[in-house]
Structure 1
Amino acid sequence: MKPSAVVPAFEEALRQLGVRVRRERGPFRGGLCVVDGEAVVVLNRQHPDEAQAAVLAAALREHGGADELYLRPAVRAALEDAWAQADAGQTAEVADDD
C-alpha cells in the first residue's frame, strides 16, 4: 500500500478513536500529545508521506485501541509493518529543520 494511501487511512483510524489530527509547519517531527485535555496528533506538513505514516502509526500504538478497530486488511498490514519497522529501528528519518 502506498504511503499516500496509508496516511488518510491511519488518520481515519485515529479519528475513530477520538484523536484529532492537525498539520502544522515548523521544526518538529510530530506525534501524539494532549492539548486542553484532548488527544491530538500533530503532523509536520513539510514531511513526506512515509514520515507522516510513521508518526501516525506510532500514535495509534501509543494511544491504544487500534486492535479493536476494523481496518481493511491492507491498512492493518501497513500498520503492523510500520510497527515492525519501528521496533527494528527502521523508521522514516527526517532531518530536523533547526
Structure 2
Amino acid sequence: MKPPAVVAALEEALRQLGVRVRRERGPFRGGLCVVEGEPVLVLNRQHPAEAQVAVLAAAVREHGGADQLYLRPAVRAALEDAWAQADAGQADEAEQDE
C-alpha cells in the first residue's frame, strides 16, 4: 500500500477514535495535542507522506486505539513498521546518550 493511502486510512482511524485531524503549514513536525479538552492531531502538510505516517502512527500508539478498530492488513503492517522504526530510533538515541 502506498504511503498516501496509509495516511488517509490512519487519519480516518483517528477520526473514528474521536481525534480531530488538522493539516497545517509551518516549521513543526506535527503530533497529538489537546485543544480545549479535545484530542487534535496536527500534520504538517509540507512533509512527505512517509513522515506523516510516522506522526500518525505515534498518535495511534499514544491514543491507544490500534486494538479498538479494524485496520486493513496493509495499514496495520505499515503501522507496525512505523512503530518498529520509532522504537529503533529511540534505542539508537539511548545508546548515544551512554
Query: Which whole-Å CA distance do the structure 2 matches of 1:17 and 1:42 have between them?
Result: 15
Q: Cα RMSD (Å) of the superposition?
A: 1.1
Query: Which whole-Å CA distance do the structure 2 matches of 1:25 and 1:78 have between them?
Result: 25
Query: Which whole-Å CA distance do the structure 2 matches of 1:65 and 1:71 have between them?
Result: 11
Residue in 1 that maps onto 2:81: 81
1:39-77 per-position Cα deviation (integer Å, ceiling 9, x unaligned):
000001111101011000000000112112111111111
Residue in 2 that maps onto 1:93: none
Residue in 2 that maps onto 1:13: 13
Q: Which runs of 5+ in 2 are unaligned?
A: 91-98
Query: Which whole-Å CA distance do the structure 1 matches of 2:22 and 2:60 have between them?
Result: 15
Q: Which runs of 5+ in 1 are unaligned?
A: 91-98
Identity %: 89
TM-score by length of 1: 0.88
Q: State the aligned residue count.
A: 90
Residue in 2 that maps onto 1:42: 42
Which runs of 4 or more aligned residues in structure 1 lie more than 2 Å from their structure 2 counterparts after TM superposition? none
Residue in 2 that maps onto 1:53: 53
TM-score by length of 2: 0.88
Q: Which protein has the bigger helix share?
A: 2
Query: Which whole-Å CA distance do the structure 1 matches of 2:6 and 2:65 have between them?
Result: 18
